[in-house]
Amino acid sequence: MRSWIEGANAPECDFPLENLPYGAFRRRGERLRCGVAIGDHVLDLAVLEESGLIHAGGRTAVFAAPHINAFMALGPAAWRRVRARLTDLLAEGGDPSLRGERGMLARALVPLKEVELGLPIKVAGYTDFYASRQHAFNVGTMFRGAGNALPPNWLHIPIGYNGRASTVVVSGTDIRRPLGQRKPPEAAGPVFGPSTRLDFELEMGAVVGVPSRMGEPITVAEADAMIFGYVLLNDWSARDIQAWEYQPLGPFQAKAFATTISPWVVTKAALEPFRVSTPPREKPLLPYLCEPGPLLHDIHLEVALRPAGAERATTIARTNSRHLYYSAAQQLAHHAVGGCRMECGDLLGSGTISGPEKGSFGSLLELAWDGREPVRLATGETRSFLEDGDEVTLRGWAEGEGYRIGFGECTGRVLPAPAERDW
């Protein structure tokens, strides 16, 4: 498919006509509204809706809002209708309404470099899972020893914990190094202060569009149908705080201070051609978790780290979301099956995605193996954990024939902890 929009047809462009990811943006002095990325532009959906060029199907306008939740709440038929309409308006040889009207085009098509991107969704709830076998094995080995690395439930349950929606932020937001309680191995008791083992976690985030009802189970197939799309997600983690606090209730303050997501929600529809199956089951799953078909996606993932002042970032990990043992649909079905109501705008972290070999691990804890094998950067520096001023950027894309479905960037920079006089 070709678009008449400059840049959208380049093979390395993240946002070709096949993608059409949703986000929130504003020009200087304007309010946030919904848009779709195409080439190096964003298409203003509020303008299109107001002028009658698109109609999402609801009784009121949905796109002149700071988040895409109202649109997601209209459900899968509306998602399909708007995607088909946008494709027609943007395709070479499609409906000329948008192209034809000069004034309209100038208002509706905004260069990406002129906009500020907002958090695409109002996050209703944030749950983080633990679905990469290699990551679970690696972290388990470091926290509990190789003999107890994989918990006995891991091959039966998509393990997760309830995270904080309040601190999910959009790419580009600076992250303050957290304060917390930790117990250095040689110390007699715990100490309080800035984390000294700050880390990132490379994850995919699934965005729930269709709610479920309290007390009503859902199947894995129904869960898949409830998912609107996916984002890149960095679950910033303070490993020293985590190791001290996590038993027996799991991560709490170690992961509550910040979670960064990419600004564009790539729809499930755009990722359809890239579906792949989960790896073979090592233990049979209980029937409520069995998959009706391929539920993962083949998405290349990368992590780059740029120290303060450095010109270039170093790519320190390359992996793929197909390594996950559980899909987002399985996680969502498991989440809701006991009676928990899932909401439009719920965000589900996949868990850190680590591939089988060392360069494909999704956290610094694993890449530098608990500080024993520091990662070397292009600047000559090494890293075992993040330092103040470090900028971490996640990238991801599915590779089609002659095009890619890109996620854009999920980036954040580490700021120093609050000054000691303030605590």
Ligand X SMILES: O=C(O)/C=C/C(=O)CC(=O)CC(=O)O
Is 259 a binding residue for Mg ion by CB under 5 A? The answer is yes
Q: Binding segment for Mg ion among 207-215, 254-262, 291-299, 378-386 (CB under 5 A)?
A: 254-262
Residue 201 interacts with Ca ion (CB under 5 A)?
yes
Geometric angle at alpha carbon 118, from 114 and 122, rounded to 5°: 160
The only residue of 4, 137, 143, 369 in contact with ligand X, by rule CB under 6 A: 143
Q: Which does 259 bind (CB under 5 to 8 A by kind): Mg ion, Ca ion, ligand X, none?
A: Mg ion
| Binding residues for ligand X, total number by CB under 6 A | 15
Closest residue (Cβ) to ligand X? 351
| 44 near ligand X, judged by CB under 6 A | no
Minimum CB distance to Ca ion, residue 48 (Å): 37
Binds ligand X (CB under 6 A): choice among 259, 352, 384, 411: 352
CA-only gyration radius of the chain, Å: 22
Q: What values do phi and psi take at 358, rounded to 5?
A: -55, -45
Out of 14, 224, 235, 245, the only residue in the binding site for Mg ion (CB under 5 A) is 235
Contact call for residues 98 and 105 (beta carbons, < 8 A): yes
Closest distance of CB 366 from Ca ion, Å = 12
Where does this chain touch Ca ion (CB under 5 A) — which range of 74-82, 234-242, 296-304, 321-329? 234-242
Which residues sit opposite 415 in a β-bridge?
A: 176
Between 270 and 410, whose beta carbon lies closer to ligand X? 410
> Strand 116-118 vs strand 404-415: parallel, antiparallel, or unpaired?
unpaired
Please tell me whether residue 235 binds ligand X under the rule CB under 6 A.
yes
What's the distance, CA 129 to chain centroid? 12
Catalytic residue among 67, 135, 297, 334: 135
Among the residue ranges 147-155, 259-267, 312-320, 401-409, the one whose residues contact Mg ion (CB under 5 A): 259-267
Measured from the CB atom, is 237 or 267 closer to ligand X?
A: 237
| 234 is a contact residue toward Mg ion (CB under 5 A) | no
Closest approach, Cβ 190 to ligand X, in A, equals 18
Instruction: State yes or no: is 135 an active-site residue.
Output: yes
Per partner kind, with CB cut-offs from 5 to 8 A, the member of Ca ion, ligand X, Mg ion, none near residue 49 is none
Q: CB-hemisphere CA count at 13 Å for 128?
A: 25
- Report in angstroms how near the CB of residue 321 gets to ligand X at its nearest: 13
Q: Which stretch binds Mg ion (CB under 5 A): 2-10, 233-241, 380-388, 407-415?
A: 233-241
Assigned token pair, 347:
């965000």
135 interacts with ligand X by CB under 6 A: yes
Candidate list 18, 44, 49, 128; residue touching Ca ion; CB under 5 A: 128
Alpha carbon distance 36, 54 (integer Å): 13
Residues that bind Ca ion (CB under 5 A): 128, 201, 235
Residues that bind ligand X (CB under 6 A): 128, 130, 135, 139-140, 143, 201, 203, 235, 237, 246, 251, 255, 351-352
The catalytic site residues sit at 135
Residues that bind Mg ion (CB under 5 A): 235, 255, 259
